[in-house]
Structure 1
């Protein structure tokens, strides 16, 4: 079903733990790929003494799909006194509750554990629903599907106003986040240790389906504005 995005050169050598993580992912998704190939696609986005989180984006029958793999050293205890086993159980419970309550954030696809390691595979709600066999909702409409009527013009104006407002808010929030990241970097900590909220955001934007309508809308706005400007001020 799913194939890793091909690259001419491997990203980095993989450890035995990374290979075990890739093996879990391959088995969980029923892939026919070599785990060593999948392992080269992993990007580590959080790493602690007894837990780590890796991201990977795969091409699949439902399009590009982003996944997170949580890995726990079940016996290791962190500085707060929590074992990897505790974190593993908490992670499973948290993801189960998110699915039950239909709240934003990752959805658990599968989990597995050995005597020493625990694994959780998660993805976006949209990909999770697709993996459950639900049909994907069409996000793009052709021009023929959008007749020029008074009602559609009113809807466009209202949607444009809402989009303008939320884009300003999003830009302000992005600036606030970048400022906080830069302040943390200046404190001497080079590693960007994602919070759970940041992980959820990263997973959301990694899924092309979640941002495609926005990017398509922005491209259409820019192209149309440039075309209209060219009509007003023709080339000499």
Structure 2
């Protein structure tokens, strides 16, 4: 089981783009293991918040702590899967080996087992960039999971994928959560949110509008903006 980075505390986080605060005083505490799904319309600040949490963007104001660590000190215990996976111009197997060189040297069978878990064992020696979109995303997830992260971040990692890839990725994410990895993912898909979420963080206008247990959020949202979103009255 990976070491915990909980609780995650985000205080008064602000990020300015041009003359606008795209994150406008975000306050959020995540204390429990399981899967937190971040939802909200386009421009709500979801991806920016995740990128700040992973240390890819430096906020203009505010503080983030993960357990007793700063973002910088926690980076080697985090893994992030993006909507559009970043793959090396190497084979499928070499993409995994590059990400976890110690494992690749000590126990290369782990790499093959990881590929098998995402149904890519037969693609091991093919160029990674020749994979389909769903296959590339499955490879990106396998690469992330090999590092045994305490915190797994996914930014719409199943958007536009075929149903089989979506279900496989969801099953892997749920299994990793049960192993003790904290999962935070962004999704526009309400069905996916219902399938995966233990809690939902709903963002609007660069702020956290609501944080609720998933069953409560989907049946009794507390805020008008969340209610409108779930009713399809706010476009993604």
TMscore range, shorter length: under 0.3
Output the TM-score relative to the length of structure 1.
0.26
Output the TM-score relative to the length of structure 2.
0.26
- Higher normalized helix content (fraction of residues): 1
Greater Rg over alpha carbons, structure: 1
- Higher normalized strand content (fraction of residues): 2
Structure with the greater relative contact order (CA < 8 A, sep ≥ 6): 1 or 2? 2
